[in-house]
Structures are given as C-alpha cells and as structure tokens.
C-alpha cells in the first residue's frame, strides 16, 4: 500500500465536495480520476499530495508522492505544449512511488499525447491521473475512480470497461422501472375490478330466482359480499402503497430540427477548394490544397500543433479566390475566444438571440448539455469556462445555419459534456468541419479526414479508423518494396562480381538510391509513434 485515506471530507467555502469513507492506493495501481467540472478532481489530488488540508479525516502516505498540477507556470516565450512537456519530464525524473497527474495532455497534439502514453505505460510506480481524454484513459488505466454525488465510485478496468458497466447499470435501472410499472398497473387494474364488483354487489342479479332471494335474504347477503370485495380492494391498495417506487431513468428524446436548405445541399458540393496555399508570413504550412466538402459531411482536421489547422479554417472563410462556397451554405463559426456570447445576458437569452427554433427545442438541447430547468436563467458571467463553451456551441447549433465550423470545441469540456456534444453532432444533419486533438471524438464523429503531415495537406474520404489503417498499409507497402529492392541489389552485386560493367554499376547505384529513399520513409513512419522533442 502506497497511500491510505480514512473518513475523508473535502470542502470549499460554499459546499462540501467529497465525503469518502476509505481510499487505498497500491503498488502498480493505474487510476483514472473522472467527474464533471467542479466536482473536486484537482482539489482531491492536491489534498492527497499534502498541499491542501482536508476538513476532516487522515491521509497516510507510505511512499513519496509527486504532483503534476493542471495550472502550470508559463515562463519566457514557451508555448503551452512546451511548458506541459517540461513539467512532465520533471515529474517523471523524480521516480516517486506515487504520481498524481492533473490533465497531463493539456495543449499537446496527438503525437505528443501518444508519447506521454508511453511514459505512463512504462512508469514503475503507481499513478492517479485526471484526464478528459478517453483514448488516453483507455491506453494507460486499469482502474477508474468517478466523482459523483459527493463521493467516489470505484471501477475495475479502463474507461471503456467503465462505460460498459455504466451502461449495464442504466439498463438494470430501466428494467427495474419497467417491472415496477407493470406491477403497479397490475395492482391498479385489480383494485378497479374489485371496486366495480363491490359497487354492483347490492344489486340483485337478473338470474336470481324469487325462491333463492327468499332463502338467502338478498340485502344481508349482498352487503356481506360487497364488504368482502371492499376489503380485498383495500388490501390491494395497501400492497400498492408499499410497492417500492422506482424512478424512471432519464431518456433523451430524438431531436427534430429544421436545417435551412438541407435537402437541397445534402450530398452536393458546398465547399470547393482549388490550389489553396497555406502561407503565413514567410512560412509555407502546406502547398496547393485541392478538395471539396459535400452537404452532410463531418470532416475532422487533424495534425501537429503549428501545422496550420486554424489557418485552414480561417482561409476557408475568407479566401474568395481559391475557396468557393455555395450560396445556400450558411456557416456558423465556433472560435475559442467565445466573443459571440453576451456575458450580461442569461444562457437562454444568449441562445434565443440567434435561434430559429422554438423554446421547447432550445431547452431540450440545453438539457442535453446539462443545463436543466432554472439553470438556463443563469448569467453567462457566472459560468465556468467549460459551461461557456457549451452555451456557445448550443447557440451555433440552434442558429440559422446548415454548416458548423468548430475550432477545438472539446477544450474545457468534461467527459460527460464531450459525449453529449458527440450525440448532438451525430444527430445533426448539417455539415460539420472541426479541429480536435481528441482521438475518440474524431473517431465517433468524422466521416472524412483532412490531415496535415510534414507540410502536406491530405484529404481522406473515410473515417479516422480507415485513415489509420491506410497509414499502416502504406508502411507495409514500403517495407515490401524495400525487401524487393534488397533482393535486386543482392542479384546485381553477384553479377558485378562475375562480369563488371558500367550498366550494372549504374543499376546498382540507382537501386541504392531507391533503398535510401524507402529507408527514410520507414524511419519517418516509426517517428510518428515516438515524436521528436520540442
């Protein structure tokens, strides 16, 4: 055991964040810590590290503990990615028994996230890591701690296994609710039948003869029968009252949205790019890009930091010479500065300002993003960064547009909000272009890929998984070509040793040059999984 916490209470001035009876961390533990924004993930790490005192309880540390904080001090002119990398290198160089890492992939592109995955996978000690990157959690974690309802729920497995368990739990709740409803309706029908029979019990049935009525005495007989039926009905009512109530699990209703000109645009070219250069100042990011986007496409733009992803978005919106946009295409652009929001207005008023849908649908979309009931009346200036992002996305989503251009829409979103946005975009029938470093988000949404690799803009008509397979196939093809070249070189060398000639020497030199070129391609492919330092 490396760390133990007992009867732990962690609070902030306005409320209690966490109450946990017991927490234990053992050698080799690889724990992913998840939860909504504001539930206390960072505060818990600082408390376990000894930098914040809990309101109540004790924490016993049996090993050295190091903390990689989320908010990192920027020095000089280094980028956010460079600062993150420096902090990670320092944390891993200490080789403490327990590493507490808060959002270690912040500001990093995919190659450097994969590099960090390797570091965590090779880490000899235990770690607790806070991350909103589900692919990262799947790659490095064997346990998940979820903060919810002011406590910690523990699951064995990575994030995908956790998701399956959560889905199974939801299905169990849904089945329990259906069983409850069936039993409740059965009892209600039985009560109604008994009450109806009781109300008819004092009436003499038509088939009863006069002699039978005289023998039994109609009134006392049927009064007794009525009382018995009423008693049975009362017993059933008692059973109904004692029936344990099961609340209906929340179910999202499918969205019925009106998207302007969508039928006209669906499947047709709406953005045509011809000979578009990615030049910024004296730097050429890419050269001579040519591609088109059809109505209904969902296009992910991926690449390293500084490759020109945001530059491409801006050029699509401003370059009239090389970019042709259909007159029926109405674009809504999400920028990270969130300038489209009025901070003095409420969430609802911000969205209604540009919405073409009624308030019912507006509230439905806001509820999908976890703004429930009176939450919609909160002013934007009291919201967190992640909440403001959700309001801005809802505003664009419900506006008079049929194409969304989103620059890093998942920044500042917790996993739950990210998955809610995924569902909205999957149901959205319009066109979406988005920049993201979140691999799982790209996997789920994209139907086409624009990749920026080594100064080249590659347009791929297929999913992210297919794009990755293509890279693997390219590598295999290069390795097969290399093997063939080496066989030819061996053959030429054997012939040269027997009958030297200028033609054979020239052929040998040409094969050597081809071999060097192919070896560079193989080396370049390998570098993708082990990115160079900054």
pLDDT, mean of residues 11-16? 87
| Residue whose pair of structure tokens reads 């703004």 in the numeric block | 371
CA distances 308 to 151, 203, 457, Å, are: 43, 88, 9
- What's the predicted TM-score (pTM) here? 0.75
Mapped onto helix, strand or coil, the DSSP state of residue 232 is: helix
- Can you read off the two tokens belonging to residue 145? 């701690």
Note the pLDDT of residue 292. Answer: 92
Would the pLDDT of 463 be above 80? Answer: yes
Comparing 82-86, 231-235, 459-463, 530-534, the range with the smallest average pLDDT is 530-534
Q: Which residues contact 462 (CB under 8 A, 6 or more apart)?
A: 447, 448, 449, 470
Note the pLDDT of residue 237. Answer: 87
User: How many helices and strands (H and E) does the chain possess?
Assistant: 16, 20
Higher per-residue confidence, 531 vs 399: 399
Q: Report which of 494, 511, 509, 328 is spatially closest to residue 402, judged by C-alpha positions.
A: 328
Separation of alpha carbons 22 and 6, rounded Å: 5
Separation of alpha carbons 128 and 120, rounded Å: 11
Q: Are strands 30-35 and 56-61 parallel, antiparallel or unpaired?
A: unpaired
Note the pLDDT of residue 211. Answer: 59
Helix axes 359-368, 385-397, angle to 10 degrees: 140
pLDDT band at 215 (very low <50, low <70, confident <90, very high): low
pLDDT 10s digits, 105-120: 877 888 889 989 999 9
- Can you read off the two tokens belonging to residue 491? 């053959």
Would the pLDDT of 220 be above 70? Answer: no
End-to-end CA distance of the chain: 37
pLDDT, mean of residues 261-280? 88
| Residue whose pair of structure tokens reads 């008079």 in the numeric block | 400
pLDDT 10s digits, 146-189: 999 999 999 999 999 999 999 998 899 989 999 999 999 998 89
- Decide: 290 and 273 in contact? Cβ < 8 Å: yes
Note the pLDDT of residue 206. Answer: 59
Separation of alpha carbons 440 and 24, rounded Å: 30
pLDDT, mean of residues 490-494? 83
Q: Are strands 269-276 and 323-325 parallel, antiparallel or unpaired?
A: antiparallel
Q: In degrees, to the nearest 5, what angle opens at C-alpha 105 toward C-alphas 99 and 109?
A: 150
Comparing 252-256, 461-465, 479-483, the range with the smallest average pLDDT is 252-256
Distance from CA of residue 485 to its chain's centroid? 45
Backbone φ and ψ of 266, nearest 5°: -55, 120
Would the pLDDT of 225 be above 80? Answer: no
pLDDT, mean of residues 299-306? 92
Higher per-residue confidence, 260 vs 253: 260
* Long-range pairs, 358-367, Cβ under 8 A, ≥24: 361/255, 361/256, 361/257, 361/398, 362/394, 362/398, 364/253, 364/255, 365/255, 365/394, 365/397, 365/398, 365/424, 366/394
Note the pLDDT of residue 76. Answer: 56
How much of the chain is in helix, strand and coil states, percent to nearest 5?
45, 20, 30
CA distances 518 to 64, 381, 485, Å, are: 48, 56, 9
CB atoms closer than 10 angstroms to residue 251: 7
- Decide: 5 and 20 in contact? Cβ < 8 Å: yes
Mapped onto helix, strand or coil, the DSSP state of residue 12 is: strand
pLDDT, mean of residues 42-49? 95
Note the pLDDT of residue 72. Answer: 58
Could you tell me how many residues make up the chain? Answer: 534
pLDDT, mean of residues 265-294? 91
Residue 86, judged by CB atoms within 10 A of its CB (0-12, 13-18, 19+), counts as middle
- Decide: 255 and 286 in contact? Cβ < 8 Å: no
- Rg over CA atoms, the chain: 33
Over 477-514, what HEC string results? HHHHHHHHHHHHHHHHHHHHHHCCCHHHHHHHHHHHHH
| Residue whose pair of structure tokens reads 């946990």 in the numeric block | 20
Separation of alpha carbons 62 and 97, rounded Å: 9
Ramachandran class of 66: left when φ > 0, alpha when ψ lies in -120 to 50, beta otherwise: beta
């Amino acid at each position: 055991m490396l760390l133990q916490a007992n009867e732990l209470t962690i609070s902030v001035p306005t409320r209690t964040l966490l109450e946990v009876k017991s927490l234990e961390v053992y050698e080799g533990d690889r724990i992913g810590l998840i939860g909504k924004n504001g539930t206390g993930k960072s505060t818990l790490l600082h408390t376990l590290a000894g930098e914040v005192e809990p309101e109540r309880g004790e924490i016993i540390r049996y090993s050295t503990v190091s903390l990689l904080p989320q908010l990192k001090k920027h020095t000089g002119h280094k980028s956010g990615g460079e600062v993150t990398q420096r902090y990670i290198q320092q944390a891993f160089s200490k080789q403490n028994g327990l590493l507490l890492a808060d959002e270690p992939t912040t500001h990093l592109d995919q190659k450097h996230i994969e590099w960090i995955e390797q570091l965590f996978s090779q880490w000899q000690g235990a770690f607790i890591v806070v991350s909103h990157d589900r692919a990262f959690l799947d790659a490095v974690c064997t346990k998940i701690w979820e903060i919810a309802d002011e406590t910690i729920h523990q699951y064995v497995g990575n994030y995908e296994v956790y998701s399956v368990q959560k889905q199974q739990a939801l299905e169990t709740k849904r089945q329990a609710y259906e069983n409850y409803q069936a039993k409740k309706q059965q009892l209600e029908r039985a009560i109604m039948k008994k009450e109806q029979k009781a109300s008819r019990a004092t009436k003499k049935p038509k088939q009863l003869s006069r002699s039978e009525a005289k023998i039994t005495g109609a009134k006392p007989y049927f009064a007794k029968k009525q009382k018995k039926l009423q008693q049975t009905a009362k017993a059933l009512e008692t059973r109904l009252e004692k029936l344990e109530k099961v609340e209906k699990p929340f179910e999202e209703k499918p969205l019925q949205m009106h998207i302007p000109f969508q039928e006209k645009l669906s499947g047709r070219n709406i953005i045509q790019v011809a000979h578009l250069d990615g030049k910024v100042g004296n730097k050429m990011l890419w050269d001579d890009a040519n591609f088109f986007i059809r109505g209904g496409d969902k296009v992910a733009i991926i690449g390293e930091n500084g490759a020109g992803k945001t530059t491409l978005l801006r050029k699509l919106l401003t370059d009239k010479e090389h970019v042709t946009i259909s007159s029926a295409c109405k674009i809504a652009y999400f920028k990270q500065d969130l300038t489209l929001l009025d901070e003095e207005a409420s969430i609802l008023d911000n969205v209604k300002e540009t919405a073409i849908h009624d308030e019912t649908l507006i509230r439905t979309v806001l509820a999908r993003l976890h703004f429930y009931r009176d939450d919609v009346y909160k002013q934007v200036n009291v919201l967190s960064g992640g909440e403001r992002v959700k309001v801005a996305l809802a505003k664009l989503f419900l506006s008079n547009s049929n194409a969304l251009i989103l620059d890093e829409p998942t920044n500042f979103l917790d996993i739950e909000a990210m998955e809610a946005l995924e569902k909205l975009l999957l149901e959205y029938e319009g066109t979406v272009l988005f920049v993201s470093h979140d691999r799982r988000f790209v996997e789920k949404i994209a139907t086409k890929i624009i990749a920026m690799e080594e100064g080249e803009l590659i347009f791929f008509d297929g999913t992210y998984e297919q794009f990755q397979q293509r890279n693997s196939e390219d590598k295999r093809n290069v390795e097969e070509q290399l093997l063939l070249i080496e066989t030819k070189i061996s053959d030429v060398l054997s012939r040269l040793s027997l009958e030297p000639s200028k033609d054979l020497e020239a052929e040998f030199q040409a094969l050597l040059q081809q071999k060097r070129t192919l070896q560079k391609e193989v080396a370049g492919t390998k570098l993708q999984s082990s990115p160079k330092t900054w």
